[in-house]
Structure 1
Amino acid sequence: MTINRRKFLTSFGLATLATQLQPLIAQGQLSPQTILKPPRLQIGDTVGLIAPAGIVDPEDIAAAQRNFADLGLKVKLGKHILNRYGYLAGKDSDRAADLNAMFADRSVKAIIAMRGGWGCNRILPLLNYPRIRAHPKILIGYSDITSLLLAINARSRLITFHGPVATSTWNQFTVDYVKRILFAGEAVTMQNPPTQEVQISTIAPGKARGKLVGGNLSVLTAMVGSPYLPAWNQSILFIEEIGEDVYRVDRMLTQLKNAGILNRIAGLIFGQCTNCSLGDAPNFTLTQVLQDHILPLNIPAWYGSAIGHIKDKFTLPVGVQVEIDANTGIIQLLEPAVS
């Protein structure tokens, strides 16, 4: 009899997690299916900086330390944060060890990736998901960090956060959402800043509710078929991209469609496709590609949300319930994302 490999790996991972959490389950304190919210940040807390993907410059660390000091936070550096291994910030085992260590370190209250690039997919099998679940804390980043956000949400059942990395522009708009969501624990309403160059473009009107899931489109599609993705049923999918020709976006959306993901979601938010070109003629516009894929789904959808490789960024909690309005481009959290 043939066993579906993905189902086996997913079941095996959940079984291992359940075994290691059995003492808490037996005491009625925790179910392996319970979604955990990490504790909120407070002034004076220590955040851990790690480099799970691309190489980090010492100057960027110094700038990040200043930014977090302005937020009233202390900083602890990952042991291997300045390592180099080809185009990666150290060997897979070392980058994974830093992330595992930060989750186990009781003095660290949140973990922030220095930057994206490439490399997080390589360390997913090396993460200690039961340990992460046993020590829930904020993990934030975007771009290649999508791998970590989705895998930890799926395997550790922990809310994660698609937001700025340490090298992002920590301007007033971005910091405001970080403070309101991660410090104050507000169920915020997210709406684009009036100064944003890209305007909201409704693909299909309407409102929808569901679990917020997503990240960088190319990273997400590279994870399809692995045991590191969450369930998609009735979810609100958000995606963003940078530096891809429109035909490549078409190809990636086709992959999500053929994998049976798009027909399960309740709504779609395409953030911004920064520096995405039409490519060689003849071609489609990005709007035409999105309409081709999304309109047949009969779900609310829009393009242009403040998500992606841009200065003004939302902080999006992966795994929380939200309501979206595709007519106005508004995302409303229906619950706090932190405890």
Structure 2
Amino acid sequence: MNRRQFIGNAALAASLLPFAGVAGTVEAAPRRRLLPVALDKGDRVGLVSPSSASDDSFSLQLAREAMEALGFEVKTGAHFAGRRGYLAGSDAERADDLNTMFADKTVKAIVCTRGGSGGARLLPLLDYETIRRNPKTLLGYSDITALHSAIHAKTGLVTFHGQIGSGSWNAFNVDQFQRVFFKRELMEYRNKIELGDELVPRRNRTITITGGKARGELVGGNLTVLAALAGSPFLPDFGGKILFLEDVGEAPYRIDRMLSTLKLMGALDKIAGFIFGECTDCKPGDGYGSLTLEQILDDYIKPLQIPAYRGAMIGHIREQFIVPVGGQVELDADTGSFRLLEPVFQS
């Protein structure tokens, strides 16, 4: 089964969820914002594999070493290194690891070793009451968008879209981590610009779609995963929110289709601002021609007449922001930046 076949199956499964008896179910009404406990060096961090299995044991070793190098004691999920086909164990095993880590009072944060596919399969199995009673950091991106969306929708907990455990912990990402979690800064997210030997900078440039400023709560993540949750109770309310999106390996016509899904479900018409990160390896395939990503964003976002820009350092890239899903931010589309307005940890 390839990635796109999986997403299609996940979307079908999500559409059936309201009719299924599920463990840990809570009412679908939006929750007030819930802040995680603060994180410090020396704390215990849980490593879990809620989506795809890792390619080899070395990547799991690297995830552990990275967390230890950041100053943490590490606890791994019971099925951290599991495999069932392309998944890191059965749905019940992977969900149990997450539920156990949230219930464990000694664990202060949960870091996902990787993304891939399969996170949406866990959403009916998560114990949202336990998560609400034990608010703690959840970090990951890509397929982990399913967990961010569902947990925020069901509990109001602020979670963090950013580097996975087995990803690149380069100087930029480490600095992001330390500023967000240890220093607990009210972050300003402005792209790192490098001139290099160019007369004018080219890398990491942002482009304004519609100028202006907007304030609201951040929601979003991977576009493919969000679109696959359409029709399920595991999406947060988009009303008045700042929506951020990214993706990887999707042809422009697929980006068009998924934005059309968000438009048809009414999500785009509700948002107050829009940030598009990177769409890595999103080139047109063979065929009769293609719209550009710029044209597609202009078709869907410009008519909204809300502050919007593209090119933020969010997505499947080596250096990436760590952003709080559920955090209150101010977006400035003219400068291509956004900033936190309130703390995202308990005081």
| Normalised TM-score (structure 2) | 0.88
Seen in structure 2, the aligned counterparts of structure 1 residues 193 and 16 have a Cα distance that, compared at 3 Å, is closer
User: Does 2:260 correspond to 1:221?
Assistant: no
Take 2:137 and 2:283, find their aligned partners in 1: how far apart are those partners?
A: 35
Note the 1:103-142 alignment, pairs <5 A: 103-142=102-141
Q: Percent identity?
A: 48
Q: CA deviation at 1:281?
A: 3.3
SS of 2:301's equivalent? helix
For residue 249 of structure 2, what is the aligned residue in structure 1?
A: 243
Q: CA deviation at 1:197?
A: 2.3
Note the 1:223-302 alignment, pairs <5 A: 223-279=229-285, 280-302=287-309
Segments of 5+ residues of structure 1 without an aligned counterpart are 18-31
The amino acid across from 2:68 in the alignment is A
Give the RMSD, CA atoms, in angstroms.
2.1
The amino acid across from 2:203 in the alignment is E
SS of 1:254's equivalent? helix
Note the 1:136-151 alignment, pairs <5 A: 136-151=135-150
For residue 49 of structure 1, what is the aligned residue in structure 2?
A: 47
| Normalised TM-score (structure 1) | 0.90
SS of 2:289's equivalent? coil
Q: Check the 8 A contact 1:236/1:265 in 2, yes or no.
A: yes
SS of 2:58's equivalent? helix
SS of 1:55's equivalent? coil
Q: 1:324 aligns with which of 325, 328, 331?
A: 331
Output one character per residue of 1:52-111: Cα deviation in whole Å (capped at 9) or x when no partner: 001123111211222112211111110011111111000000000000000011111100
The amino acid across from 1:39 in the alignment is V
Segments of 5+ residues of structure 2 without an aligned counterpart are 1-16, 195-201
The amino acid across from 2:122 in the alignment is I
After TM superposition, the structure 1 stretch with the greater mean CA deviation from structure 2, 154-163 or 214-223, is 154-163
Output one character per residue of 1:226-272: Cα deviation in whole Å (capped at 9) or x when no partner: 00111111100000000000010000001100010000000110100
For residue 172 of structure 1, what is the aligned residue in structure 2?
A: 171
Note the 1:6-85 alignment, pairs <5 A: 13-15=25-27, 33-56=31-54, 57-85=56-84
Take 1:338 and 1:225, find their aligned partners in 2: how far apart are those partners?
A: 31
Take 1:310 and 1:134, find their aligned partners in 2: how far apart are those partners?
A: 34
Q: CA deviation at 1:33?
A: 3.6
Take 2:28 and 2:284, find their aligned partners in 1: how far apart are those partners?
A: 46
The amino acid across from 1:273 in the alignment is C
For residue 95 of structure 1, what is the aligned residue in structure 2?
A: 94
After TM superposition, the structure 1 stretch with the greater mean CA deviation from structure 2, 134-143 or 199-208, is 199-208
For residue 335 of structure 1, what is the aligned residue in structure 2?
A: 342
